[in-house]
Protein backbone atom coordinates (compact mmCIF):
# COMPACT_ATOMS: atom_id res chain seq x y z
CA UNK A 1 0.00 0.00 0.00
CA UNK A 2 1.23 3.48 -0.80
CA UNK A 3 2.16 5.88 1.98
CA UNK A 4 1.93 9.62 2.43
CA UNK A 5 4.90 11.83 3.25
CA UNK A 6 4.50 11.09 6.95
CA UNK A 7 4.61 7.33 6.41
CA UNK A 8 0.88 6.79 6.82
CA UNK A 9 -0.91 4.31 4.55
CA UNK A 10 -3.07 5.80 1.78
CA UNK A 11 -5.74 3.67 0.12
CA UNK A 12 -5.04 4.22 -3.54
CA UNK A 13 -3.26 2.33 -6.28
CA UNK A 14 -2.38 5.58 -8.01
CA UNK A 15 1.10 6.92 -7.39
CA UNK A 16 -0.10 10.21 -8.89
CA UNK A 17 -2.86 10.44 -6.30
CA UNK A 18 -0.48 9.65 -3.46
CA UNK A 19 1.96 12.30 -4.70
CA UNK A 20 -0.84 14.86 -5.03
CA UNK A 21 -2.05 14.03 -1.50
CA UNK A 22 1.49 14.74 -0.28
CA UNK A 23 1.41 18.13 -1.99
CA UNK A 24 -2.02 18.79 -0.44
CA UNK A 25 -0.74 17.95 3.04
CA UNK A 26 2.34 20.13 2.61
CA UNK A 27 0.29 23.02 1.25
CA UNK A 28 -2.34 22.72 3.97
CA UNK A 29 0.24 22.74 6.74
CA UNK A 30 1.65 26.05 5.48
CA UNK A 31 -1.77 27.46 4.48
CA UNK A 32 -0.52 27.42 0.91
CA UNK A 33 -2.52 28.69 -2.04
CA UNK A 34 -1.97 25.46 -4.02
CA UNK A 35 -3.84 23.13 -1.65
CA UNK A 36 -7.07 23.10 -3.65
CA UNK A 37 -5.30 22.36 -6.95
CA UNK A 38 -3.36 19.54 -5.30
CA UNK A 39 -6.39 17.74 -3.92
CA UNK A 40 -8.23 18.15 -7.20
CA UNK A 41 -5.28 16.51 -8.97
CA UNK A 42 -5.40 13.66 -6.47
CA UNK A 43 -9.07 13.03 -7.25
CA UNK A 44 -8.60 13.27 -11.01
CA UNK A 45 -5.90 10.58 -10.86
CA UNK A 46 -8.08 8.29 -8.68
CA UNK A 47 -11.71 9.46 -8.41
CA UNK A 48 -12.56 6.61 -6.02
CA UNK A 49 -9.83 7.38 -3.46
CA UNK A 50 -11.83 7.79 -0.26
CA UNK A 51 -9.22 9.83 1.56
CA UNK A 52 -8.65 12.25 -1.32
CA UNK A 53 -12.40 12.89 -1.42
CA UNK A 54 -12.51 13.29 2.36
CA UNK A 55 -9.65 15.78 2.23
CA UNK A 56 -11.50 17.70 -0.46
CA UNK A 57 -14.68 17.69 1.64
CA UNK A 58 -12.77 19.00 4.62
CA UNK A 59 -11.07 21.65 2.51
CA UNK A 60 -14.38 22.99 1.22
CA UNK A 61 -16.06 22.89 4.65
CA UNK A 62 -13.18 25.03 5.88
CA UNK A 63 -14.21 27.73 3.40
CA UNK A 64 -17.27 28.32 5.64
CA UNK A 65 -19.72 29.31 2.93
CA UNK A 66 -22.84 27.69 1.51
CA UNK A 67 -21.58 27.13 -2.04
CA UNK A 68 -18.42 25.39 -0.93
CA UNK A 69 -20.42 23.44 1.62
CA UNK A 70 -22.41 21.89 -1.25
CA UNK A 71 -19.17 20.97 -2.99
CA UNK A 72 -17.93 19.47 0.26
CA UNK A 73 -21.03 17.32 0.61
CA UNK A 74 -20.63 15.87 -2.87
CA UNK A 75 -17.01 14.86 -2.13
CA UNK A 76 -18.09 13.50 1.22
CA UNK A 77 -20.65 11.23 -0.44
CA UNK A 78 -17.92 9.72 -2.63
CA UNK A 79 -15.67 9.29 0.40
CA UNK A 80 -18.45 7.49 2.25
CA UNK A 81 -19.22 5.26 -0.77
CA UNK A 82 -15.63 4.04 -0.80
CA UNK A 83 -15.06 4.09 2.94
CA UNK A 84 -14.82 0.29 3.17
CA UNK A 85 -11.64 0.38 1.08
CA UNK A 86 -10.05 2.94 3.41
CA UNK A 87 -7.65 2.32 6.29
CA UNK A 88 -8.72 2.67 9.92
CA UNK A 89 -7.17 6.15 10.08
CA UNK A 90 -8.86 7.23 6.88
CA UNK A 91 -12.20 5.92 8.10
CA UNK A 92 -11.83 7.96 11.28
CA UNK A 93 -11.10 11.03 9.15
CA UNK A 94 -14.12 10.40 6.92
CA UNK A 95 -16.33 9.99 10.00
CA UNK A 96 -14.94 13.16 11.60
CA UNK A 97 -15.56 15.15 8.43
CA UNK A 98 -19.08 13.70 8.14
CA UNK A 99 -19.79 14.69 11.75
CA UNK A 100 -18.65 18.24 11.03
CA UNK A 101 -20.88 18.40 7.95
CA UNK A 102 -23.78 17.28 10.19
CA UNK A 103 -23.01 20.01 12.72
CA UNK A 104 -21.84 17.47 15.29
CA UNK A 105 -18.70 19.31 16.35
CA UNK A 106 -18.10 17.19 19.44
CA UNK A 107 -18.09 14.03 17.33
CA UNK A 108 -15.82 15.67 14.77
CA UNK A 109 -13.39 16.60 17.53
CA UNK A 110 -13.54 13.08 19.01
CA UNK A 111 -12.63 11.68 15.59
CA UNK A 112 -9.58 13.90 15.19
CA UNK A 113 -8.53 13.14 18.76
CA UNK A 114 -8.75 9.41 18.02
CA UNK A 115 -6.59 9.85 14.91
CA UNK A 116 -3.95 11.86 16.77
CA UNK A 117 -3.97 9.33 19.58
CA UNK A 118 -3.36 6.36 17.26
CA UNK A 119 -1.54 8.07 14.38
CA UNK A 120 0.27 11.12 15.78
CA UNK A 121 2.12 11.64 12.49
CA UNK A 122 -1.19 12.81 10.99
CA UNK A 123 -0.64 16.54 11.32
CA UNK A 124 -3.72 17.47 9.29
CA UNK A 125 -5.81 15.80 12.01
CA UNK A 126 -3.97 17.93 14.59
CA UNK A 127 -4.56 21.05 12.52
CA UNK A 128 -8.25 20.26 12.03
CA UNK A 129 -8.69 19.45 15.70
CA UNK A 130 -7.18 22.84 16.55
CA UNK A 131 -9.57 24.52 14.11
CA UNK A 132 -12.59 23.06 15.89
CA UNK A 133 -11.25 23.83 19.35
CA UNK A 134 -10.49 27.39 18.24
CA UNK A 135 -14.13 28.04 17.34
CA UNK A 136 -15.34 26.33 20.52
CA UNK A 137 -13.14 28.63 22.60
CA UNK A 138 -11.34 25.62 24.10
CA UNK A 139 -7.77 26.86 24.26
CA UNK A 140 -6.53 24.16 26.66
CA UNK A 141 -7.50 21.39 24.26
CA UNK A 142 -6.25 23.42 21.30
CA UNK A 143 -2.80 23.27 22.86
CA UNK A 144 -3.11 19.72 24.14
CA UNK A 145 -3.91 18.10 20.79
CA UNK A 146 -0.76 19.65 19.28
CA UNK A 147 1.45 18.74 22.24
CA UNK A 148 0.15 15.20 22.07
CA UNK A 149 1.71 14.82 18.61
CA UNK A 150 5.09 16.28 19.64
CA UNK A 151 6.68 13.03 20.79
CA UNK A 152 6.16 11.49 17.35
CA UNK A 153 7.24 14.66 15.51
CA UNK A 154 9.66 16.44 17.88
CA UNK A 155 11.21 18.85 15.37
CA UNK A 156 8.49 19.17 12.79
CA UNK A 157 8.40 22.92 12.06
CA UNK A 158 4.72 23.00 11.11
CA UNK A 159 3.70 21.16 14.28
CA UNK A 160 5.86 23.51 16.32
CA UNK A 161 3.91 26.40 14.80
CA UNK A 162 0.68 24.79 15.99
CA UNK A 163 2.13 24.26 19.47
CA UNK A 164 3.32 27.88 19.59
CA UNK A 165 -0.15 29.18 18.77
CA UNK A 166 -1.70 26.88 21.37
CA UNK A 167 0.75 28.09 24.01
CA UNK A 168 -0.02 31.71 23.17
CA UNK A 169 -3.74 31.11 23.44
CA UNK A 170 -3.09 29.54 26.86
CA UNK A 171 -1.12 32.63 27.94
CA UNK A 172 2.21 30.77 28.04
CA UNK A 173 3.78 33.61 26.14
CA UNK A 174 7.47 33.03 26.76
CA UNK A 175 7.34 29.43 25.61
CA UNK A 176 5.09 30.34 22.70
CA UNK A 177 7.58 32.89 21.42
CA UNK A 178 10.53 30.56 21.86
CA UNK A 179 8.88 27.68 20.01
CA UNK A 180 7.48 29.97 17.30
CA UNK A 181 10.94 31.39 16.65
CA UNK A 182 12.44 27.88 16.73
CA UNK A 183 9.86 26.70 14.18
CA UNK A 184 10.76 29.62 11.92
CA UNK A 185 14.47 28.90 12.28
CA UNK A 186 13.83 25.31 11.21
CA UNK A 187 11.68 26.39 8.26
CA UNK A 188 11.46 30.05 7.28
CA UNK A 189 8.30 29.52 5.25
CA UNK A 190 6.22 28.91 8.33
CA UNK A 191 3.47 31.53 8.32
CA UNK A 192 1.52 29.96 11.19
CA UNK A 193 4.60 30.17 13.43
CA UNK A 194 5.12 33.80 12.34
CA UNK A 195 1.52 34.38 13.33
CA UNK A 196 1.93 32.78 16.76
CA UNK A 197 4.92 35.00 17.56
CA UNK A 198 2.98 38.05 16.35
CA UNK A 199 0.26 37.23 18.86
CA UNK A 200 2.84 37.11 21.66
CA UNK A 201 4.43 40.42 20.67
CA UNK A 202 1.05 42.09 20.31
CA UNK A 203 -0.11 40.82 23.70
CA UNK A 204 3.10 42.05 25.31
CA UNK A 205 2.80 45.43 23.56
CA UNK A 206 6.19 44.92 21.86
CA UNK A 207 5.02 46.90 18.87
CA UNK A 208 8.31 47.79 17.16
CA UNK A 209 9.54 44.22 17.56
CA UNK A 210 6.28 42.95 16.14
CA UNK A 211 6.59 45.04 13.00
CA UNK A 212 10.23 44.07 12.54
CA UNK A 213 9.46 40.38 13.10
CA UNK A 214 6.58 40.23 10.66
CA UNK A 215 8.12 42.36 7.90
CA UNK A 216 11.29 40.24 7.97
CA UNK A 217 9.33 37.12 6.97
CA UNK A 218 6.44 38.66 5.06
CA UNK A 219 7.88 37.73 1.66
CA UNK A 220 7.08 34.07 2.44
CA UNK A 221 3.38 34.88 2.75
CA UNK A 222 3.14 35.37 -1.00
CA UNK A 223 2.64 31.60 -1.22
CA UNK A 224 -0.18 31.64 1.34
CA UNK A 225 -3.87 31.26 0.76
CA UNK A 226 -5.81 34.49 1.11
CA UNK A 227 -6.91 33.66 4.66
CA UNK A 228 -3.45 33.62 6.23
CA UNK A 229 -1.97 36.15 3.81
CA UNK A 230 -4.60 38.72 4.78
CA UNK A 231 -4.62 37.66 8.45
CA UNK A 232 -0.86 38.02 8.91
CA UNK A 233 -0.99 41.45 7.28
CA UNK A 234 -3.97 42.22 9.53
CA UNK A 235 -1.65 41.59 12.47
CA UNK A 236 0.91 43.97 10.95
CA UNK A 237 -1.86 46.56 10.59
CA UNK A 238 -2.75 46.12 14.29
CA UNK A 239 0.84 46.93 15.24
CA UNK A 240 0.72 50.12 13.19
CA UNK A 241 -2.67 50.97 14.65
CA UNK A 242 -1.19 50.82 18.14
CA UNK A 243 1.45 53.27 16.95
CA UNK A 244 -1.27 55.58 15.66
CA UNK A 245 0.14 55.23 12.13
CA UNK A 246 -3.27 55.50 10.50
CA UNK A 247 -2.00 56.05 6.95
CA UNK A 248 0.01 52.83 7.20
CA UNK A 249 -3.07 50.95 8.41
CA UNK A 250 -5.27 52.34 5.66
CA UNK A 251 -2.59 51.48 3.12
CA UNK A 252 -2.35 47.91 4.41
CA UNK A 253 -6.12 47.60 4.33
CA UNK A 254 -6.21 48.65 0.69
CA UNK A 255 -3.10 46.76 -0.48
CA UNK A 256 -2.82 43.66 1.71
CA UNK A 257 -5.96 42.99 3.72
CA UNK A 258 -9.06 43.78 1.66
CA UNK A 259 -6.97 44.49 -1.42
CA UNK A 260 -5.64 40.91 -1.55
CA UNK A 261 -8.70 39.23 -0.06
CA UNK A 262 -10.96 36.86 -1.88
CA UNK A 263 -13.89 39.19 -1.53
CA UNK A 264 -16.42 36.35 -1.26
CA UNK A 265 -14.44 34.57 1.48
CA UNK A 266 -15.96 34.72 5.00
CA UNK A 267 -12.61 34.63 6.80
CA UNK A 268 -11.20 37.40 4.63
CA UNK A 269 -14.35 39.47 5.11
CA UNK A 270 -14.21 39.10 8.89
CA UNK A 271 -10.60 40.28 8.99
CA UNK A 272 -11.40 43.32 6.89
CA UNK A 273 -14.46 44.16 8.99
CA UNK A 274 -12.45 43.79 12.17
CA UNK A 275 -9.83 46.22 10.87
CA UNK A 276 -12.37 48.79 9.66
CA UNK A 277 -14.10 48.66 13.01
CA UNK A 278 -10.84 49.22 14.85
CA UNK A 279 -10.05 52.17 12.59
CA UNK A 280 -13.47 53.65 13.20
CA UNK A 281 -13.06 53.28 16.96
CA UNK A 282 -9.96 55.45 16.54
CA UNK A 283 -12.07 58.09 14.83
CA UNK A 284 -11.07 57.31 11.25
CA UNK A 285 -13.76 57.75 8.61
CA UNK A 286 -14.12 54.47 6.70
CA UNK A 287 -17.62 54.99 5.30
CA UNK A 288 -16.49 54.27 1.73
CA UNK A 289 -14.78 51.03 2.78
CA UNK A 290 -17.86 49.86 4.73
CA UNK A 291 -20.08 50.29 1.70
CA UNK A 292 -17.67 48.54 -0.64
CA UNK A 293 -17.16 45.60 1.71
CA UNK A 294 -20.80 45.15 2.66
CA UNK A 295 -21.77 44.69 -0.97
CA UNK A 296 -20.10 41.25 -0.65
CA UNK A 297 -22.08 40.18 2.42
CA UNK A 298 -25.45 39.31 0.89
CA UNK A 299 -24.79 35.58 0.86
CA UNK A 300 -23.75 35.64 4.52
CA UNK A 301 -27.16 36.72 5.81
CA UNK A 302 -28.64 33.22 6.03
CA UNK A 303 -25.45 31.09 6.17
CA UNK A 304 -24.48 31.12 9.88
CA UNK A 305 -21.30 29.08 9.55
CA UNK A 306 -19.87 30.46 12.81
CA UNK A 307 -21.45 32.76 15.41
CA UNK A 308 -18.15 34.62 15.93
CA UNK A 309 -18.24 35.70 12.30
CA UNK A 310 -21.91 36.68 12.30
CA UNK A 311 -21.17 39.34 14.92
CA UNK A 312 -18.91 41.02 12.39
CA UNK A 313 -21.35 40.81 9.49
CA UNK A 314 -24.25 42.48 11.30
CA UNK A 315 -21.98 45.36 12.24
CA UNK A 316 -20.74 45.87 8.67
CA UNK A 317 -24.26 45.66 7.28
CA UNK A 318 -25.47 48.28 9.74
CA UNK A 319 -22.56 50.64 9.16
CA UNK A 320 -23.03 50.46 5.40
CA UNK A 321 -26.60 51.75 5.57
CA UNK A 322 -28.13 48.29 5.43
CA UNK A 323 -29.62 47.98 8.93
CA UNK A 324 -32.67 46.19 7.60
CA UNK A 325 -30.37 43.44 6.34
CA UNK A 326 -28.62 43.31 9.69
CA UNK A 327 -32.00 42.77 11.35
CA UNK A 328 -32.88 40.16 8.73
CA UNK A 329 -29.67 38.37 9.66
CA UNK A 330 -30.52 38.63 13.35
CA UNK A 331 -33.89 36.97 12.78
CA UNK A 332 -32.19 34.33 10.66
CA UNK A 333 -29.66 33.65 13.44
CA UNK A 334 -32.52 32.88 15.82
CA UNK A 335 -34.18 30.57 13.30
CA UNK A 336 -30.85 28.83 12.68
CA UNK A 337 -30.32 28.34 16.41
CA UNK A 338 -33.63 26.53 16.80
CA UNK A 339 -32.42 23.86 14.38
CA UNK A 340 -29.35 23.02 16.48
CA UNK A 341 -28.75 20.68 19.39
CA UNK A 342 -29.29 22.05 22.88
CA UNK A 343 -25.68 23.05 23.56
CA UNK A 344 -25.14 24.80 20.24
CA UNK A 345 -28.58 26.40 20.47
CA UNK A 346 -27.68 27.94 23.83
CA UNK A 347 -24.43 29.33 22.41
CA UNK A 348 -26.37 31.06 19.69
CA UNK A 349 -29.45 32.22 21.60
CA UNK A 350 -27.86 33.17 24.91
CA UNK A 351 -24.58 34.61 23.65
CA UNK A 352 -24.38 35.20 19.91
CA UNK A 353 -27.80 36.75 19.37
CA UNK A 354 -27.62 39.26 22.27
CA UNK A 355 -24.07 40.12 21.20
CA UNK A 356 -25.21 40.63 17.62
CA UNK A 357 -27.96 42.93 18.88
CA UNK A 358 -25.34 44.82 20.85
CA UNK A 359 -23.18 45.16 17.75
CA UNK A 360 -26.10 46.57 15.78
CA UNK A 361 -26.95 48.95 18.62
CA UNK A 362 -23.39 50.26 18.71
CA UNK A 363 -23.24 50.58 14.94
CA UNK A 364 -26.41 52.67 15.10
CA UNK A 365 -25.02 54.79 17.92
CA UNK A 366 -27.53 53.52 20.46
CA UNK A 367 -24.95 53.52 23.23
CA UNK A 368 -27.18 52.65 26.21
CA UNK A 369 -28.73 49.73 24.37
CA UNK A 370 -25.28 48.49 23.33
CA UNK A 371 -24.08 48.67 26.94
CA UNK A 372 -27.12 46.86 28.31
CA UNK A 373 -26.86 44.10 25.72
CA UNK A 374 -23.10 43.67 25.84
CA UNK A 375 -22.52 43.75 29.58
CA UNK A 376 -24.10 40.37 30.46
CA UNK A 377 -22.57 38.47 27.53
CA UNK A 378 -19.03 39.87 27.45
CA UNK A 379 -17.72 37.29 29.97
CA UNK A 380 -19.17 34.48 27.84
CA UNK A 381 -17.96 35.56 24.41
CA UNK A 382 -14.96 33.24 24.60
CA UNK A 383 -17.42 30.43 23.94
CA UNK A 384 -17.87 31.73 20.39
CA UNK A 385 -14.19 31.19 19.62
CA UNK A 386 -11.71 33.44 17.89
CA UNK A 387 -8.36 34.47 19.34
CA UNK A 388 -7.91 36.74 22.33
CA UNK A 389 -6.76 39.47 19.97
CA UNK A 390 -9.78 39.06 17.73
CA UNK A 391 -12.21 38.99 20.65
CA UNK A 392 -10.71 42.02 22.37
CA UNK A 393 -12.56 44.02 19.73
CA UNK A 394 -15.86 43.32 21.48
CA UNK A 395 -14.54 44.74 24.73
CA UNK A 396 -13.29 47.80 22.84
CA UNK A 397 -16.76 48.32 21.40
CA UNK A 398 -18.32 48.02 24.84
CA UNK A 399 -15.85 50.54 26.28
CA UNK A 400 -16.50 52.83 23.34
CA UNK A 401 -20.23 52.69 24.04
CA UNK A 402 -19.56 53.54 27.69
CA UNK A 403 -17.38 56.47 26.66
CA UNK A 404 -19.97 57.80 24.21
CA UNK A 405 -22.84 57.37 26.64
CA UNK A 406 -21.03 59.72 29.01
CA UNK A 407 -19.83 62.25 26.44
CA UNK A 408 -22.03 62.10 23.38
CA UNK A 409 -25.78 61.42 23.24
CA UNK A 410 -25.89 59.54 19.91
CA UNK A 411 -23.87 58.87 16.80
CA UNK A 412 -24.51 61.34 14.03
CA UNK A 413 -25.67 58.58 11.78
CA UNK A 414 -29.02 58.16 10.13
CA UNK A 415 -29.33 54.84 8.33
CA UNK A 416 -30.94 54.97 4.93
CA UNK A 417 -33.30 52.09 4.37
CA UNK A 418 -32.69 50.30 1.12
CA UNK A 419 -35.26 48.49 -0.96
CA UNK A 420 -33.20 45.34 -1.68
FE1 LIG B 1 -4.31 35.92 14.66
Q: Return d(Cα 297, Cα 264) in angstroms, integer.
A: 8
The Å distance, Cα 238 to ligand 1 centre, comes to 10
The Å distance, Cα 408 to ligand 1 centre, comes to 33
The Å distance, Cα 225 to ligand 1 centre, comes to 15
The Å distance, Cα 335 to ligand 1 centre, comes to 30
The Å distance, Cα 127 to ligand 1 centre, comes to 15
The Å distance, Cα 233 to ligand 1 centre, comes to 10
The Å distance, Cα 338 to ligand 1 centre, comes to 31
Q: Closest by alpha carbon to 232, among 186, 184, 304, 302?
A: 184
Confidence band, pLDDT 50/70/90 cuts, at residue 385: confident
The Å distance, Cα 234 to ligand 1 centre, comes to 8
Find out whether 227 and 195 touch, Cβ atoms under 8 Å. Answer: no
312: alpha, beta or left, given left = phi > 0 and alpha = psi -120 to 50? alpha
The Å distance, Cα 195 to ligand 1 centre, comes to 6
The Å distance, Cα 232 to ligand 1 centre, comes to 7
Model pLDDT, residue 118: 98
The Å distance, Cα 66 to ligand 1 centre, comes to 24
Confidence band, pLDDT 50/70/90 cuts, at residue 409: low
Q: Half-sphere exposure of 183 toward its Cβ, with a 13 Å CA cutoff? A: 30
The Å distance, Cα 293 to ligand 1 centre, comes to 21
Model pLDDT, residue 149: 97
Q: Return d(Cα 226, Cα 259) in angstroms, integer.
A: 10
**Residue 420 predicted with pLDDT over 60:** no
Q: Return d(Cα 322, Cα 364) in angstroms, integer.
A: 11
The Å distance, Cα 418 to ligand 1 centre, comes to 35
Q: Half-sphere exposure of 296 toward its Cβ, with a 13 Å CA cutoff? A: 18
Q: pLDDT tens, 116-127?
A: 999 999 999 999
Q: pLDDT tens, 268-325?
A: 999 999 999 999 999 999 999 999 999 999 999 999 999 999 999 999 999 999 999 9
Q: pLDDT tens, 358-382?
A: 999 999 999 999 999 999 999 999 9
The Å distance, Cα 289 to ligand 1 centre, comes to 22
**Distance from chain centroid for Cα 43:** 26
The Å distance, Cα 165 to ligand 1 centre, comes to 9
Q: Return d(Cα 148, Cα 143) in angstroms, integer.
A: 9
DSSP structural state of residue 3: E
The Å distance, Cα 387 to ligand 1 centre, comes to 6
**Residue 415 predicted with pLDDT over 50:** no
**Residue 259 predicted with pLDDT over 60:** yes
Q: pLDDT tens, 25-73?
A: 999 999 999 999 999 999 999 999 999 999 999 999 999 999 999 999 9
The Å distance, Cα 382 to ligand 1 centre, comes to 15
Q: What is the mean pLDDT of residues 206-215?
A: 98
The Å distance, Cα 211 to ligand 1 centre, comes to 14
The Å distance, Cα 11 to ligand 1 centre, comes to 35
Instruction: Compute the mean pLDDT over every residue in the chain, rounded to the nearest whole number.
Output: 95
Model pLDDT, residue 408: 67
Model pLDDT, residue 24: 98
Model pLDDT, residue 388: 87
The Å distance, Cα 417 to ligand 1 centre, comes to 35
What H or E segment, with its residue span, contains residue 9?
strand 9-10
Out of 31-35, 61-65, 179-183, 403-407, which region has the weakest mean confidence (pLDDT)? Answer: 403-407
- Count CB neighbours of 41 within 10 A: 18
Q: Return d(Cα 50, Cα 60) in angstroms, integer.
A: 15
The Å distance, Cα 291 to ligand 1 centre, comes to 25
The Å distance, Cα 367 to ligand 1 centre, comes to 28
Amino acid sequence: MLQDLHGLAVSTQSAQTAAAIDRFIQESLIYGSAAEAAIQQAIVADPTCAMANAYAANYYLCQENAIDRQRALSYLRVAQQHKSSATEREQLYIDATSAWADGQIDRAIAGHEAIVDQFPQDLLAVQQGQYHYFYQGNTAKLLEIAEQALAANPEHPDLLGMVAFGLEQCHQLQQAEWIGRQATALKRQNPWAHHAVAHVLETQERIEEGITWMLAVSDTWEACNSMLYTHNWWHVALFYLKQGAIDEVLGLYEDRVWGRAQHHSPKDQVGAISLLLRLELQGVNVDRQWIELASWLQSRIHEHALPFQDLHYVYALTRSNRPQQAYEMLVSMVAHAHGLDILQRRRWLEIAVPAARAMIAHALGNWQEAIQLFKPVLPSLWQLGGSHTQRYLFKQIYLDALHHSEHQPARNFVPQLQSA
